[in-house]
Structure 1
C-alpha cells in the first residue's frame, strides 16, 4: 500500500511517500518546507493557514509520483494545541517557545507541587512549557477563551482536521501534555480538577491507528483515489522510536530541535529515583511507555545558522562541521537547557556571553561555536544517560540514534566517546519511517511495530560508531553538571 507521512517539526516539515508490504519498505522525500512560530500581536503563534497550504503542496507532490495513495498520517512536535468551537479554531495556537506561556508556573506549583504532578502523570518536565502550563496560564489570564471553546486538539490532530479528518485524541502526543496518567493511558482528571482546569474540552484518547475519514475533496481532486486519513504515532518522537530497530537493552536518542533520550518499557516507572533524576513517562506505539529525558538539542545550532545566514555568512553544514573538527575540543561547554538561551537575541552572541560569564574560553569563529555546541550536547546527553541507567537499574549497552544527528559523523563519533557505548546510527528519517510503519499497522499490512522494526533492520543501511577516545569525559560531565547548577 502507498502511504504519505507528513512530519512537521518546530523548524520545518517534510512529506514522504512510502510503499510498505509485508516484506519490503521503500520511501522517498517528496516535499520540504520551513516552519517556525510567527510573531503576531506580541505573541509567538503557529500559522495554521500556512501549514495547511504547505501540507497540501506536499500531498500534491506525492501524487505527482504516485496518484494512488491509500493513507495519509501527520506527526508533529508535542506540547502545543488549538482550542475550537463548533469545529472552528478560535485562534492560531501559541508556541511553547512564546515567553509568556509560563506566566503562572509559580502559582501552579503552589497549588500542586512537583511531586503531585509526577505521581499523577509520570512527567518530570519542569523546564519546557508543556500543555499543562499553557492551559493554566490561559485559564488565569484569558478565561473567556475557555467559555467559547468546546474542544482541545493537539497539533497533529488539529492539522488533520484541516485536511478533513474527524477530531480525535491520540495517546502518544497527549502524553506530552503532562496531563495524562501513563498507567491508565487516559487524562489525569483528578489533577486537572485540583488545578481548576477544564476537562470537558479534552478529546477521548485512542491508540495510534485510528482511521479518521477521507482526505478533504479539494485536496484529493488531483489524486486517482481518495486516501484515508490515519492517526499514526502522532508525536514525532513516538514515531521516531517506532522506526528504530530498538533492542530491549538499548537506549534511543531522537535528534532534532530537541534531543529525546530514553528506553522503551511496558510499564511506567514512577519511583523516587525517576523523580529525582527527572525521567518522564511518555506513551509509545503498541502499548509501550517511553522512559525519557529531554535535552535542548540542535535548536541552538539552527539558531546560530539563522544568525549567520542573516549576516550573510556561509551556513553550509559540511563547511561548519569541517571547521568544528579542526577547532580545539572541549575548549568551552554550555548547558543547552540554560534559561539564558532564547529566540529573542542572536544565538552566537548568547553562547559567547554564557562562556564569558562562566570564565571559559569564548568561541569566536563559527567553527569554534559549532564545536562548543557539539561537545556540550554529547556531554549533556551522556549525563542524561547515566541518570536513565540509574533509574532503570539495568545496563543500556548501546544507543540507537535517529534523526538529523545520523548525518553528522562528528556528532556520532563524539556521542560514542562521551557515552562510552556503541552508537547505531539510522535510519536518518526515523520519524518518517515510524509514521509510515504505524500507518501500515493501521491498515493491517503489518501485524505490529515489532515486525516493522525487523523490516527496518533488514531494509536499511545502519552505521555503527564504536567509542574511540573515552578519556576525560567523566571530567567534562562533572564540569557541565556544575555549570547546570550555577
Structure 2
C-alpha cells in the first residue's frame, strides 16, 4: 500500500525545516526533506523578519516533495509566537515585519499600564509579562507608525500569514493568538473590550479557529509553482503548542520542558491559573491543543549557547560544546539566564563575561568554560522553576519530559536530572514538527484523539532516560 504523507513546515527563530511523515505498521516515521536558515535582519537598527525570503523557502521545500515523488495529502505551518503582519485593504503587507527582539517595545509596558494595571492585565489574560508580547508591540505601533496601524485592515500572525499566501484564506489560529496577551482564557476568543481600551482597531482581528481546521487547498498560482495540490490544515501554530502535543506519554499531570531557542517549562491544565501567586512567579497560561492551557514559564534557553557558538565562528558542533563543557566541572559561576542583558546583546560571549565580572564571579574564558556556565545556569533555572510549579499547583512530579532540539543535549539533560532530582525523559527532538503532523493526522482520522496520537509518538521514536547521579 502506498504511503500517505503529511508535511510539517516548522519555522524556528534560527532555522526552518520541512518534515514529511507517514505511518508504517502503526508507527510514525518522519523524514527531513528541506532545511533553511532563519534570523532577524538588522535594518538601520531595527530587527526585522524577511517574510518574503521565508515564504520563498516554504515554496522551495514544497517543491522538494514533488522532486521526491512524495506528495503530501495535507500540510501545515508553525512558527514562534508574538510576531505578526499588518495587511491593508488589498491584503498587502504594510511596512516592516518586526522581530520580537527589536527594542521598539522598550517602555511600552508603562504605556499599557496607563490603560490597565499589570495585575488586572494578568488576571484578565493569564499571560506572563514579556517585553516583546504582541500587546506591547501594538502599543509601540501606535507611537512609531500610527499611520500604518490606522491603515491596517487585518492583523495576522506569521504562520497564518504564510498559509494565507498559500490558500488565499485568511484565518487566525487560537494557540498562537494567546501569546498576544489579548485573548480571554474563558471565552477563548479575542478580548475585544481590552483591545478597545488600548485604542486599537478591533475590526483587524479575525475569529479564532482551533487546530485541525481545514483552511482549503492551494491557490492555482501556488499549485502551478510546486507542481501539485494539497490541503492546508491549521496545526497548533505556536511552535511550543505543537511541541507539547508530542510529549511521549498518555499520563495526565506531566511536567515538560520544550527545549530549543527558548526553554518552556510547565504542565497542562484544563483551566487557566490567573491568580496572584502565578503572576508573581511570572507563569503564563498559553492556549494548547483541544483548549488545554500550557501553564509554563518562559526561560531564555539555548539561544544563549547558539549565540556563543556563532561567536566562536561555529568551530564547534553543539555536541562538541557539550563535551568541552563537561570537562570543566570546576566552573562554579552561574548567570541569571533570564536577565535582559542576554535577550539581544551585540556579543553574547562578552555579555556573559561582563555579567560575571559585575557580580564578582569567576570569568569564564574558553568555549568549554563559557558553555559550562550556560548549561549549569540553565539547569539551575529549571530546578527553580520545577519547585515553583510544584508549590503553586501542590503537585509533585517524578519526571521531566524534555522535547525539542535540547533533547539531544545529553550533558544538559544530565545536569537537569542532577539539579532537579527528577528522572529526565528526553525526546523526541523534532517534537514541534511531530505535533504539527499529529494535528493533521487527527483531522484526517488517523488518530481518534490526542491521547492516541501521543501513544503513537511514545512507541515510534527514540526516547532516552537520565537519572540523578549527584
1:215 to partner: Cα distance: 2.1
Cα offset, 1:301, TM superposition? 0.8
Q: Following the alignment from structure 1 to structure 2, what is the Cα–Cα distance between the partners of residues 224 and 46?
A: 28
Bigger drift between 14-23 and 104-113 goes to: 14-23
Work out the CA distance in 2 between the residues paired with 1:19 and 1:128: 40
Determine if contact 2:401/2:425 at 8 Å carries over to the other structure.
yes
Contact kept? 1:329, 1:371, Cα under 8 Å: no
Instruction: Report the CA distance shift for 1:174/1:353 in structure 2 as closer, same or farther (over 3 A).
Output: same
For 2:431 and 2:456, how far apart are their aligned partners in 1?
Answer: 13
Distance 2:407 2:163 in 1: 29
1:473 is matched with none
Contact kept? 1:102, 1:134, Cα under 8 Å: no
Q: Does 1:408 align with 2:409?
A: yes
- In structure 1, list runs of 5 or more residues that go unmatched: 470-486
Confirm whether residue 80 of structure 1 aligns to residue 83 of structure 2.
yes
Contact preservation (8 Å) 1:165, 1:212: no
Q: Distance in 2 between matches of 1:375 and 1:131?
A: 31
Aligned to 1:479: none
Query: Which stretch shifts more, 262-271 or 429-438?
Result: 262-271
Q: What is aligned with 2:162?
A: 159
Equivalences for residues 32-431 of structure 1 within 5 A: 32-85=35-88, 86-125=90-129, 127-221=130-224, 225-246=228-249, 247-309=251-313, 314-431=315-432
Distance 1:374 1:214, change over 3 A: same
- The alpha carbon displacement at 1:315 in A equals 2.4
Matched, 1:461 2:462: yes
Offset at 1:106?
Answer: 1.6
Evaluate the alpha carbon distance shift between residue 192 and residue 2 of structure 1 in structure 2; reply closer, same or farther with a 3 A threshold. same
Question: TM-score of the superposition, structure 2-length normalised?
Answer: 0.95
| Cα distance between partner residues in 2 of 1:22 and 1:150 | 48
Partner of 2:451: 450
- The alpha-carbon deviation at position 344 of structure 1 amounts to 4.1
Greater alpha carbon shift after TM alignment, 25-34 vs 337-346? 337-346
**For the residues of structure 1 that align with 2:432 and 2:415, how far apart are their CA atoms?**
23
| Distance across 2 between alignment mates of 1:315 and 1:433 | 28
- 1:152 is displaced (CA, Å) by 0.5
Paired residues in the alignment total 465
> Deviations 1:21-57 (Å, cap 9, x if unpaired)?
7933111111111101112243111101100111111
SS at match of 1:50: helix
Summarize deviations over 1:227-281 as a string: whole Å, max 9, x none. Answer: 0111111110000000112422320100111100010111111222212211111
CA distance in 2, matches of 1:162, 1:146: 21
Post-superposition CA distance 1:450-478 (Å, at most 9, x none): 11001111112211111111xxxxxxxxx
SS of the counterpart of 1:82? strand
Partner of 1:472: none
Moved more, 204-213 or 18-27: 18-27
Q: Displacement, 1:294?
A: 0.4
Is the Cα contact below 8 Å between 1:277 and 1:387 reproduced in 2?
A: yes
Tell me the TM-score normalised to structure 1 length: 0.92
Query: Secondary structure at 2:400's aligned position in 1?
Result: strand
| RMSD of equivalent CA atoms | 1.6
Match of 1:484 in 2: none
Instruction: Give the deviation of 1:444 after TM superposition.
Output: 2.0
* Whole-angstrom CA distance in 2 between matches of 1:330 and 1:270: 39
Instruction: Using the TM superposition, give the Cα deviation of residue 360 of structure 1 relative to its aligned residue in structure 2, in angstroms.
Output: 0.4
Distance 1:432 1:348 in 2: 31
Alignment of 1:9-28 (within 5 A): 9-20=12-23, 23-28=26-31
Q: Distance in 1 between matches of 2:226 and 2:341?
A: 48
Query: Kindly tell me: are residues 344 and 334 of structure 1, through their superposed partners in 2, closer, same or farther at Cα, counting changes over 3 Å?
Result: closer
